[in-house]
Structure 1
Amino acid sequence: MRYARRIRPVIDRVYVGARWAARPRMEAFYAERGADLGTENSFYSGLLARPMPADALADGLVYTDGDLSRELAQGVLKVDAEGTWHLTELGRELALHAQRATAEAAEDLWSSGPSMLPGLASVPRLAELVGRVLAHGLATGGPAFRAMTPPYEPDDASPAMLLTTRLGSLRHHRADAHRAAWRAAGLTAAQIRALPDGPERAAIEAETDRRDAPAYAVLSEDERWELLAGLGALPA
């Protein structure tokens, strides 16, 4: 349980750092096609692999207003009679670019660190470890994680693409765990966002850790620390 809590900010740092570095090139590509960065950009690792069920997307957007009218109006997403969300042809083009741009930005970041750090050389092994965690986490993940896993990985994916894409999916295992924890405590999304630090918040975070931890049980103790240290050593 302690490991799940320790690795989460490290995962966020690496993934969000790559995504933020990729943002200018993604915005330029989208602008050329008359679109804005939207849900397809945030959920590309799952949407490129399969349509997204309504409950999974609703959970993924629970802290927002959930409004997808812009994506529908711009012809990026479409929804079928069962409420399942699909990429359009344009949406797939944009999502593929988001995946590629994130990987390219990550490569730039990870090759820029001090020479004494492994940098890009460590990425294939880290991608392998995260891949094992993803597969094992399918037994305990919630709706959003199952919609995002296994992630879409093209045949020619670079190690940086594999790692960033897999981290993008892995983050949803803890996100599902957190939603399950605050719902079990009888809270709404608005209430958990407003909940101050204190015993109630601590109990929800502990329950989140308990629900998130099983995904990492597939790794040995040495492998867990290898993953934590390896991700922590990547520039972001």
Structure 2
Amino acid sequence: MSDPAVPGRGAAPDATSRNVEQVELPPHRFAGLLAPAVDRTFAAGMLAGRDGGAELSSQYGGAAASGFLVEFRTRLATPGGTVSGPGFAALTRYRDPATCRRSLDKQVAYGMLQRVSDGGCCATDRGLAFLGDLWQVHAKATGELWAGHDDRVTRLVTALGRVLAYALVLAESDEPGGFAAMAPPHEPEDSPPGVLLLNRLGTLRHHRADAHAAAWTAAGHTATSVAALPPGPERLAIEQETDRRAAGPYAVLSADERLVMLADLAALPG
């Protein structure tokens, strides 16, 4: 995966990475520690753009017109980008299918999306215009949120680019899921680092979501039953299996780089 607007890989680490304590951190353990840090940082970036996004959305018909465009923006903004029917099902696996279909119907009626033959969707010209404006909203919001943290954002963007590229290689023989539907994220040449970080984090979350779904499926659960599963040994076993299944792409990072990623995410505001 290319890294537009950030330095090339292999740059000398700064004081953050030089001062990281040498600690054994295998990929499966790292996957479990990383997930909440990714969720927190991604949520902070999306929250920073909420007001601007709501104002923009109102110009196109409101949330009922743009919900899936926002959610699937990194695929639908790609020229010719389509979320397939199976991809749509994977991305909405914890939601009521009939409700999702009605929501999609509304966004088609607003002229923002159009259906494709397998039940998936792609953006219309109006939808693409909305996504172009949303890109500007996220550029401004993340630039303000993470101002003064340029080195951290750059390191994270570069490391996440390596992780996502390796995840795509590993996923070539796997069943299609949410990650395959959304990766690689659309990254125009003029994308600022904050937007790259936000969207790469979002894409990585789908990789873990697929790992989690595979883990609870192997344990005999459905999306409904696993959501109702109380804390205890069975849930812990599913989370540990999720970590194991999600771990593969992190082998591309050294133990030092894994620790630096955790430290950088923890240091970002939000």
TM-score interval, smaller chain: over 0.9
Contact 1:4 1:212 in 2 (8 A): yes
Matched residue, 2:31? 4
> Which deviations, in whole Å up to 9, do the C-alpha atoms of 1:24-67 show, x marking residues without a partner?
10111111122324011011112222211111111111112223
1:41 equivalent in alignment to 2:74: no
1:82 to partner: Cα distance? 2.5
The aligned runs of 1:1-236 (5 Å cut-off) are 1-36=28-63, 37-49=66-78, 50-65=81-96, 66-67=100-101, 68-111=104-147, 119-141=149-171, 142-236=176-270
Contact 1:44 1:99 in 2 (8 A): no
Rg comparison, structure with higher value: 2
1:205 to partner: Cα distance? 0.6
Contact 1:15 1:164 in 2 (8 A): yes
Given residue 28 of structure 1, which amino acid in structure 2 is its aligned partner?
A: E
Q: Distance in 2 between matches of 1:231 and 1:160?
A: 13
Q: Distance in 1 between matches of 2:125 and 2:108?
A: 13
State the secondary structure of the residue aligned to 2:230: coil
State the secondary structure of the residue aligned to 2:135: helix
1:86 to partner: Cα distance? 0.7
Runs of 4+ residues deviating >4 angstroms: none
Matched residue, 1:115? none
With the length of structure 2 as denominator, give the TM-score of the two structures: 0.81
State the secondary structure of the residue aligned to 2:82: coil
Instruction: Choose 23-32 or 59-68, whichever is displaced more.
Output: 59-68
State the secondary structure of the residue aligned to 1:125: helix
Contact 2:177 2:210 in 1 (8 A): yes
Q: Distance in 1 between matches of 2:266 and 2:184?
A: 24
With the length of structure 1 as denominator, give the TM-score of the two structures: 0.92
State the secondary structure of the residue aligned to 2:221: coil
Which protein, 1 or 2, shows the higher relative CO under an 8 Å CA cutoff with sep ≥ 6? Answer: 2
> Which deviations, in whole Å up to 9, do the C-alpha atoms of 1:119-173 show, x marking residues without a partner?
1232122101000000011134452111211110011111111111111111110
Contact 1:41 1:94 in 2 (8 A): no
State the secondary structure of the residue aligned to 2:191: coil
Q: Distance in 2 between matches of 1:223 and 1:62?
A: 33
> Which deviations, in whole Å up to 9, do the C-alpha atoms of 1:95-135 show, x marking residues without a partner?
23333322321221112xxxxxx612321221010000000
1:90 to partner: Cα distance? 1.6
State the secondary structure of the residue aligned to 1:18: helix
Between Structure 1 and Structure 2, how many residues are aligned?
A: 230
1:187 to partner: Cα distance? 1.1
Identity in percent: 41
Contact 1:140 1:211 in 2 (8 A): no
Given residue 89 of structure 2, which amino acid in structure 1 is its aligned partner?
A: A
Structure 1: give runs of 5+ residues left out of the alignment. Answer: 112-117
Instruction: Choose 81-90 or 38-47, whichever is displaced more.
Output: 81-90
